[in-house]
């Protein structure tokens, strides 16, 4: 009995425990990757009713901005070949913000349609680039309505009432009308 008293401090040295826990913590911090749910959102058209004939929609040629991509990943934009998909951003932006000034471009943003038609052999990477640039042009135009840049427009939070109003106003001014046509089978797989 007297012996145990003599030993005095009986605690286990727990100082290094923190180091071990830190090591584990850092391991988990490094290995876990947060799944990012980010990307390009589109809305598909509703399925066609097989009992009804497909609706016949007549549109003026000037209101359609045609982007064709073939199986060799070559672009045909408004009947002219184009090499750089990133040049599309300014072209689409010019097209939708025309408001009837240039007779070759759109009448108004409400009438304008960007049509993307790919081939079955087109690579997905190029398709994403084209779609990204077309959407980017719309975001830039929407930001222009509010006097901000395209990135700032995307940064707006729809949950805040005043910012939601801004988004709605920009969406009304530039409804995003991007049509993704069913690809043709010329190029094969």
Partner 1 sequence: MSKFKKKSQSSQDIPTAALPDIIFMLLFFFMVTTVIREDEILVEQSLPAAEDITKLERKSLVSYLYVGQPKEAKFGTEPLVQANDAFIRMDELILWVTQERDKLDEVDKNQMTVSLKVDKDTKMGIVSDVQQELREANALKIMYNTPQLVKDDI
Residues near partner 1, by CB under 8 A: 11, 14-15, 17-18, 20-22, 24-25, 28-29, 32-47, 118-125, 127-129, 131-133, 135-136, 139, 150-151, 154, 158, 180, 182-183, 185, 189
In this complex, which beta carbon is closest to partner 1, that of residue 112 or of residue 131?
131
Between residues 73 and 94, which has the closer beta carbon with respect to partner 1?
A: 73
- Give the span between the Cα atoms of 95 and 77, in whole angstroms: 12
Measure the CA–CA gap between 27 and 29, rounded to whole angstroms. 5
CB 122 → partner 1: shortest distance, Å? 4
Nearest to partner 1 of 100, 185 (CB atom) = 185
**CA atoms of 4 and 14, how far apart (whole Å):** 21
Q: Which of 62, 167 has the CB closer to partner 1?
A: 167
Tokens 């100082």 belong to residue: 15
What is the widest separation between alpha-carbon atoms in the chain?
A: 105
Give least dist CB 29 to partner 1, A: 6
- Rounded to the nearest whole angstrom, what is the least distance from the CB of residue 107 to partner 1 in the complex? 25
**Among 94, 82, 59, 98, CA closest to 179:** 59
**Residue among 62 and 177 whose Cβ is closer to partner 1:** 177
Residue 59: CA count within 13 A, CB half-sphere: 17
Backbone φ/ψ region at 137: left (φ over 0), alpha (ψ -120 to 50), beta: alpha
CB of 45 to partner 1, least distance (A): 7
What is the SS3 assignment for 109?
A: coil
Q: What is the three-class DSSP state of 61?
A: helix
In the complex, what is the shortest distance from the CB of residue 131 to partner 1, in angstroms, rounded to a whole number? Answer: 7
């Amino acid at each position: 009995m007297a012996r145990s008293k003599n030993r005095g401090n009986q605690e286990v040295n727990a100082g290094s425990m923190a180091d071990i826990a830190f090591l584990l913590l850092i391991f988990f911090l490094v290995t876990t990757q947060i799944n990012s749910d980010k990307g390009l959102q589109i809305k598909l058209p509703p399925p066609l009713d097989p009992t009804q004939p497909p609706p016949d929609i007549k549109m003026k040629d000037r209101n359609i901005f045609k982007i064709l991509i073939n199986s060799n990943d070559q672009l045909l934009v408004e009947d002219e070949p184009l090499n750089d998909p990133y040049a599309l951003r300014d072209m689409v932006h010019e097209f939708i913000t025309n408001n009837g000034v240039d007779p070759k471009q759109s009448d108004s943003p409400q009438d304008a349609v960007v049509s993307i038609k790919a081939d079955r052999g087109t690579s997905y990477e190029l398709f994403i680039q084209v779609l990204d640039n077309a959407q980017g042009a719309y975001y830039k135009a929407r930001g222009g309505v509010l006097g901000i840049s395209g990135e700032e427009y995307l940064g707006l939070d729809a949950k805040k009432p005043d910012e939601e109003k801004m988004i709605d106003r920009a969406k009304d001014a530039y409804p995003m009308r991007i049509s993704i046509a069913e690809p043709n089978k010329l190029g094969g797989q």
